[in-house]
Chain A
Amino acid sequence: MKTSINQKGFLIDGTKCIGCRGCQVACKQWNELPAEKTEFFGGPGYQNPAHLSSKTYTLIKYREVMKDGKLKGWVFHKDQCQHCLEPACVSACIVGALEKTASGPVVWEDKKCIGCRYCMLACPFNVPAFEWSSINPDIRKCTLCSDRIENGLEPSCAKACPTKAIIFGDRNSLIKIARNRLKSESAKYHQHIYGEEEAGGTCILNISSIPLEDFGYPKNLPKTAMASFTQPALRSIPGAVIGLGAALGLIAFIANMVKGDEKDSSGQGDRS
């Protein structure tokens, strides 16, 4: 597993988030994303819109915390692309339209995409979104504002956050900060850094007062990259083809030699 020291990422601390959704707005502004028509929905969440989409690269998820059947309070968490260290989406893309950059962001190239949507299926966090009503649809998702990072700016959402619930920095130092917080205020946090190891590790590190799984993040994610599940099958191809070729050749030869004596050897073999 390659763990580049220089990869950038976020530490998202749900306990500091006040649910103002400034990041959501800042993201739309920087990426020039249109507003979405939304519907209020009951059930877990209540956030608006209900999920990420081609027009919404990030959103604040809302959850009620219940204790003894009573509402104890609200918790919030910022959902977005996790910028995996070894992204499933990148491994899955048939034409390599998605790319993991050396500094961390996972970005994509519209022009290459054929719209197969395998990246969407492959992403364990259901992040890549599709333009369902476009004639020439693109895959869309958070870019970690790689265009800003390249120019020495911090990502738009992190900059906008008034409570520093999103901090931008080197992944390794963010892990240290997260560990310190979990330790020094252990009562406040659910003791887990979601993203340190999930799916082989992600550039986005998440801590919160409740398990991220309770926000609908995937449960039981493996600690290895998702691509490690498809690699064995793909790597076996050359051997399988060569072995099968040799075996078939042999069988065909023996079987047809023996039967070749029969009178029926008409035409191209199948002219009967």
Chain B
Amino acid sequence: MNNKKIDFSGRGMKLLLALIGLGGLLIVVRFIFGLGSVSNLSDGYPWGLWIGVDVLTGVALAAGGFTIAAAVHVLGLKKYHSVIRPAILTALLGYIFVALGIIVDLGRGWNIWHIIVFWNRDSVMFEVAWCVLLYSTVLALEFAPVFFEEFKLTAWEEKWDKYAPWISILLVSWFVFVMSGIPWYAGITFIILAACWFLFRNKLPRGSTVILLIMAGIIFSVQHQSSLGSIFLIVPTKLSTLWYTPYLPVNFLISAITVGLAMVIFESTISSRVFGVGLEDDVVKGLARVLPWAVLATAVVRAATLFQATGFKLDASGGQLASFFLEIIVGTVIPFIMLMFMGAGKSAKIIFYASAMVVIGVVINRINVSIVGIKIDGYPVYVPHIGEILITLGIISTGLLAFYIVCIKLPVFGKR
């Protein structure tokens, strides 16, 4: 056990606890009096802040998990090993946000298990749901060794080493079956992954279990990030062409990878302030060298798809245009300039602020796609209710608190 105590008396902590309490209270109200009592959602605007922020943004931010895991394990970049656990943990917690958000947002959350028995593979939402379910399982498996290490569960660790790869192979194959309904597609998936596993186990040093788990994680994550974009493919007449394109899933995926990188920098900087443990300087600087190119790639793909859809004839309301330019300037232009030309090579501060802006830019993008960009004739424009805002703050605070506790209690930043 770690002997570090959790300090509940700090001012920040008190604020977190207050927000969690308030959010919790409002959630109780929501479950007694219905969604209408704490939200401005309407028949015209059925989705609002909870989907836009808690779910879409939560998932995007959690992308840090897969970007880093991918880079480190698949490409074998040993230098970046130290960021894996914090990144995976953020991903896991990100999905906890998402799960809480969904439970609040769903009209009948207690029926969520229906996705396991009632299948509609024509529905993008169905894909999203399975991605959440399977990816969280893989993430939990990825994080399990930390618990085993902490609680000295050597027997479990051996079992994990033996079964985790097979579980992840089965999960991916199962996913293919669920989505296609064609058994031999699942068969091919199984054979390919099993072949990888044999190859890894016999030819690679001991990291093979993790590599396979990570592969499964990347597959689910890629599907999940892009499927969130696919959700909006069905509203070509509702979503402004500033955001609607048949390539929405591609845009969502690329921006998720970018924000993943930014998030790891952002987080590590904060964690080294709060816990005194963070990433080594050259790791952060390495990430910061890649980040502007990721930002640029996101912007180029976005511009190309926007041109393909509109020929740059931007026909939208004033508010939408303003929000569009805000997204581009905050999320792309400024951080790119900061990282490329403002001595990001030396200044940790510039790196920190630039990555924070990338994160904010993606948050604005997700809000734009799901809220600002959508306009429904005949309904008053949706503006979030104070209840929605407070519940969202409560959920985010819960995640932060959980992150804090886990960081203190478990060896997330390596052995102390």
**Interface set of A (CB-CB < 8 Å, partner B):** 44-45, 50-54, 88, 90-97, 112-118, 120-122, 124, 126, 128-137, 216, 218-222, 226-227, 229-234, 237-238, 240-242, 244-246, 248-249, 251-253, 255-260, 262, 264-265, 267-270, 272
Contact = CB atoms under 8 A, between A and B. Distances in A.
Interface residues of B, number: 91
Given A115-B109, A238-B182, A255-B74, A268 B206 contact: yes
Contacts of A137: 34-35, 107-108
B123 A118 contact: yes
B46 to A, nearest CB: 4
B18 interface: no
A234 to B, nearest CB: 6
B59 interface: no
B58 to A, nearest CB: 16
Given A132-B35, A252-B73, A114 B114 contact: yes
Contacts of B233: 229-230, 233
Contacts of A257: 203-204
Contacts of A251: 74-75
Contacts of B227: 233
Contacts of B73: 252, 256, 269-270
B307 interface: no
B378 A216 contact: yes
6 contacts: A96-B118, A245-B189, A248-B74, A253-B199, A269-B211, A272-B78
A265 B206 contact: yes
A222 B244 CA distance: 14
Contact of A237 (B109, B120, B161, B223): B223
Contacts of A268: 145, 161, 206-207, 209-210
A51 B203 contact: no
A11 to B, nearest CB: 24
Contacts of A262: 78
Interface string B30-70: 01111111000111101100000000000000000000001
B240 to A, nearest CB: 13
B397 interface: no
Given A45-B378, A242-B192, A92 B234 contact: yes
A51 B43 contact: yes
Contacts of B161: 268
Given A222-B237, A245-B172, 4 more contacts: A230-B124, A238-B182, A244-B219, A272-B78
Interface in B156-214: 161, 172, 175-176, 179-180, 182, 185, 188-189, 192-193, 195-196, 199-200, 203-207, 209-211
A124 B121 contact: no
B205 A265 contact: yes
Interface string B210-253: 11000100110011001100110111111000000010010000
Contacts of B199: 249, 253
B289 interface: no
A241 B31 CA distance: 38
A253 to B, nearest CB: 6
Contacts of B147: none
B51 to A, nearest CB: 9
Given A115-B108, A255-B76, A233 B226 contact: yes
Given A120-B43, A130-B43, A241-B176, A94 B123 contact: yes
* Residue from A45, A124, A245 whose CB has the most chain B CB atoms within 10 Å: A245
Interface in B69-118: 70, 72-76, 78, 81-82, 84-85, 105-109, 111-112, 114-115, 118
Nearest to B203: A257
Interface of B: 31-37, 41-44, 46-47, 70, 72-76, 78, 81-82, 84-85, 105-109, 111-112, 114-115, 118-127, 129, 145, 161, 172, 175-176, 179-180, 182, 185, 188-189, 192-193, 195-196, 199-200, 203-207, 209-211, 215, 218-219, 222-223, 226-227, 230-231, 233-238, 246, 249, 376-379, 414
Given A137-B34, A238-B176, A272 B81 contact: yes
Contacts, number: 263
B34 A134 contact: yes
B108 A117 contact: no
A108 B36 CA distance: 22
B195 A116 contact: no
Contacts of B82: 272
| Chain A CB within 10 A, most for which of B35, B108, B195, B219 | B108
Contacts of B78: 259, 262, 264, 272
Contacts of B376: 126
Given A91-B123, A135-B32, A130 B193 contact: no
Nearest to B39: A132
Q: Which 6 A-B pairs have the closest CB atoms?
A: A115-B107, A269-B207, A132-B36, A265-B205, A249-B196, A96-B120
A246 B213 CA distance: 14
B378 A229 contact: no
A128 B44 CA distance: 9
Contact of A116 (B36, B43, B107, B234): B107
Nearest to B142: A270
A43 B88 CA distance: 52
Nearest to B181: A238
Contact of B122 (A112, A132, A234, A246): A234
A141 to B, nearest CB: 10
Contacts of A219: 237
A267 B34 CA distance: 51
Contacts of A231: 122
Contact of B219 (A113, A248, A264): A248
A259 B226 CA distance: 31
